Amino acid sequence: MSKRSTKSSTVLRTLFREYYTRAELLLPPDFQLREFAFQLFGSSTYVRHKSFISESELRSYLVQHTPLHAYFSAARYLDPTRTSMEEKGRIGTDLVFDIDADHIPGCEEEAVTYYLCPECGAAYTEPVDKCQHCGAKPIKQVFIPEKCIQRAAHQALLLVDVIREDLGHKNMTITFSGHRGFHIHVMLPDDVAKMGSEARREILQYLLGEGVLLEDLVVTHVKRRRRIYVRPPPRIVEGGWRRRIAKYLASHLRVRDIALFVEGRPHTIDPSRLVAHAEAINKLIEEAVYAMRIYVDEKVLLDLSRLVRMPGSLNGKAGLLVKPLSPNELQDFVLDESLSPFAGLTLRVRARISIGPLEVLGEVVRLRRGELMKIDGARGVFLALKGLVEVVEVD
Ligand SMILES: [Zn+2]
């Protein structure tokens, strides 16, 4: 690493340390039974098997060691400090869902990918093994359009509904990941937390709507002896996917009496009304089967010893808060500088590459290699952690 970027890393670390002296951490009530893990500045490996008996002990650690990333385990252990799984003695594992904007269908194609040389700052738009200028190995950086993060927020909202209504769990923490996704940590009682990966896979299949068949859902009818027998559309008073599809219908159907019927208000409806609008209803049902699918990270859900980002910590990929959100805040989520504890600062930075226009926290940024510029703390830290600028000093 060059001298300049070491200086930049020192400034970033100081900013992180100051943040941790006043950070509002949100820990599970049983955090003493969890393994903590950290990735420190300038290190590619994790410090693992830590445990803390009090929040103040944890805070001292965060201030003293100032990690780039901080996690605790989704599992509870008899002794979280032991290094082998057998010796740790797993009591059970919570449910952890990770919705990342770059895993949502349609968003992968819209992402902008750069390969940046960490030594000389050259930027490539195609994958390269070696920098053509200095021979170093370029690092892949993916930039996701912010509308994809909105889509991820919408998916997280759908998931909160499923966790509450279909899985029956109320005790959960929803967080913005501090980068481009959302995490939902469902605290499970010990008996439920013992469920293995196979049961967790069934949840995954349920979220993806595997086995949900369109022909079982659509409105159909038969005529016998001048009477019409209709199979009605799904209604909100039903359970599972039928309930979820009915929710979609209720908010998209333009035919008022049928929308009310789907919502469960009137108990009956004239069958001829359903037959008359069957085509429109069935088109919406088909849409709903796709729109209500939820795409979570499979590895995260199935892994019984997974680590969860600590709510209130900083995500070292972007310098944003791992921020707890209520369902209402999730609904109104906007990716902007308010997610950074450094928003009030001004930084002097030097661009390492020429790049742009690039959307950074809701504003368009252009960089010219070697140019010194002043930038607000939120975007400055974001760009520095992405390797696009070096921080010269805090103004
Ligand atoms: Zn290079």
Q: Which of 107-111, 114-118, 362-366 has the lowest mean pLDDT?
A: 107-111
* Residue 325 scores a pLDDT above 90: yes
CA distance 99 to 286: 24
| Residue 376 known to be catalytic | no
In the predicted model, what is the mean pLDDT of the chain?
Answer: 93
User: How many percent of the chain have pLDDT more than 70?
Assistant: 99
Of the residues 30, 79, 98, 257, which is catalytic?
98
CA of 363 to the centre of ligand 1 (A): 28
Q: Summarize the confidence of residues 99-127 as an average pLDDT.
A: 82
* Residue 269 scores a pLDDT above 80: yes
Q: Summarize the confidence of residues 42-67 as an average pLDDT.
A: 95
* Residue 44 scores a pLDDT above 80: yes
CA of 282 to the centre of ligand 1 (A): 56
Q: Summarize the confidence of residues 173-199 as an average pLDDT.
A: 96
Q: What is the pLDDT of residues 204-236, one digit of tens each?
A: 999 999 999 999 999 999 999 888 899 999 999
Which amino acid is present at 141?
Q
Domains of the chain with bracketed CATH: 3-203+297-394 (3.90.920.10), 214-291 (no CATH)
| Residue 98 known to be catalytic | yes
CA of 270 to the centre of ligand 1 (A): 72
* Tokens at 164, concatenated: 């509450």
Q: Summarize the confidence of residues 372-390 as an average pLDDT.
A: 94
Of the residues 257, 297, 303, 376, which is catalytic?
297
Q: Which of 24-38, 102-116, 131-145, 275-289 has the lowest mean pLDDT?
A: 102-116
Most confident of 7-11, 123-127, 254-258: 254-258
Q: For residue 5, what pLDDT is reported?
A: 59
For residues 267 and 240, the model is more confident at 240
CA of 122 to the centre of ligand 1 (A): 5
Q: For residue 112, what pLDDT is reported?
A: 79
CA of 317 to the centre of ligand 1 (A): 21
CA of 140 to the centre of ligand 1 (A): 13
Of the residues 30, 94, 100, 161, which is catalytic?
100
For residues 52 and 111, the model is more confident at 52
* Residue 118 scores a pLDDT above 80: no
Find the Cα–Cα–Cα–Cα dihedral 327, 333, 336, 340, rounded to 10°: 10
CA-based nearest residue to 315, from 181, 184, 178: 178
Q: For residue 4, what pLDDT is reported?
A: 52
CA of 138 to the centre of ligand 1 (A): 7
**Which pLDDT band holds residue 153 (cuts at 50, 70, 90)?**
very high
* Residue 24 scores a pLDDT above 70: yes
CA of 359 to the centre of ligand 1 (A): 24
- pTM of the predicted model, to two decimals? 0.92
Q: For residue 28, what pLDDT is reported?
A: 97
Report whether 173 contacts 142 (CB < 8 A).
no
Q: For residue 1, what pLDDT is reported?
A: 45
Q: For residue 273, what pLDDT is reported?
A: 94
Q: Which of 110-119, 202-211, 254-263 has the lowest mean pLDDT?
A: 110-119
| Residue 100 known to be catalytic | yes
CA of 90 to the centre of ligand 1 (A): 46
Find the Cα–Cα–Cα–Cα dihedral 333, 336, 339, 343, rounded to 10°: -160
For residues 313 and 103, the model is more confident at 313
